[in-house]
Structure 1
Amino acid sequence: MSSIFELKRIVQSEDIDELNHVNNAIYVKWMDEIAHQHWTVLTENYPLPEYIWVVLRHEIDYVGQAVLNDEVLVKTWIGNTQGFKSERHIEFSKNGTLLVKSKTIYGMLDAITYKPTRIRENVLKVLEPFK
């Protein structure tokens, strides 16, 4: 298994702000979407409906711009995971040039009580190939 999950986005008119580039909020939306898609792939053969992830912190560096019709490559991978927290790294690039990089700290919650729950072996086994 590869340690990096990726997808491509084509910048649409609704992604563009008054400065004629992808709005910062759109990158956050795309971050959420790729994280969800990655988790879906990770758990397709080993469902874990008893847990949900919530964002605790985003660190985002905007270093380049994408404009209408650009193809943006989005890559994500799992970082340090311990306790009830897990890091997810995401990079957005265009033609090999970095546009945005981020590190998000997610917290794992019990899907019924919404209380933090320690990341157990069954979850670590799903995440392990991606660390």
Structure 2
Amino acid sequence: MKLAIPDADVLWDGLPELRRHALTLTVAPGDLDDLHHVNNTVYLAWCEEVAREHALRVGLGTPDLVALGAVPVAREHVIRYHKPALLGDRVRVRTALTVSAGLRSVRAYTLDRANPGDPEGGVRLAECQTEWVWVDPDTGRPRRTPAEVLRRFGFWAPAPPGSQ
């Protein structure tokens, strides 16, 4: 699957809350490179952090996923940088779990500067998309996404009471 970064803002607005998560952080000195802006690898670390927080919010931390017999591992990251983040900037990192099909899941991310005086939606710093592949934590072999993962992230609506 060749990843192309979709319009993450459209995705964000159109997805159920269970499939979205956001965090806001402040650029620290350790985030900077020799050019005094946020290092490229830090953006990726922030994307992974918001994805981890999202999973924890729905009760799917690593131990929970291991118990279900499948964990996600990154297959491909695509990042498009627009503007640098600088020391002290507030950065809003959003993720939207956009696709989950069989062995693969795709997350879109947006990273926006959200300093006082910035436009209401912030200033786009970068966009990212990651393709995750589900694997058995013991064997490392590919495994279909567990139904419980799909349910907790809002891909399936809960069954009405008494319908089972």
Q: TM-score, normalised by structure 1?
A: 0.90
In structure 1, give the amino acid aligned to 2:141. K
1:114 aligns with 2:133: no
Deviations 1:64-83 (A, max 9, x none): 11100111001011011101
Residue in structure 2 matching 1:73, options 88, 92, 96 = 92
Gaps of 5+ in 1: none
1:93 aligns with 2:109: no
RMSD (CA atoms): 1.9
- Size of the alignment, in residue pairs? 129
Residue in structure 2 matching 1:58, options 54, 71, 77 = 77
Does structure 1 retain, via aligned residues, the 8 Å contact 2:110–2:124? yes
Describe the SS at the equivalent of 1:128.
coil
Instruction: Indicate the percent of aligned positions where both proteins have the same amino acid.
Output: 29
**Within 2, Cα distance between the matches of 1:116 and 1:77?**
23
Which protein has the bigger strand share? Answer: 1
Describe the SS at the equivalent of 2:71.
strand
Deviations 1:36-87 (A, max 9, x none): 1111112259x33322110000010000111001110010110111010000
In structure 2, give the amino acid aligned to 1:39. A
Describe the SS at the equivalent of 1:57.
strand
In structure 2, give the amino acid aligned to 1:112. D
In structure 1, give the amino acid aligned to 2:48. D
Matches within 5 A, 1:26-41: 26-41=42-57
Deviations 1:82-117 (A, max 9, x none): 010000111110131110101100001112211110
Q: TM-score, normalised by structure 2?
A: 0.73
Describe the SS at the equivalent of 2:34.
coil
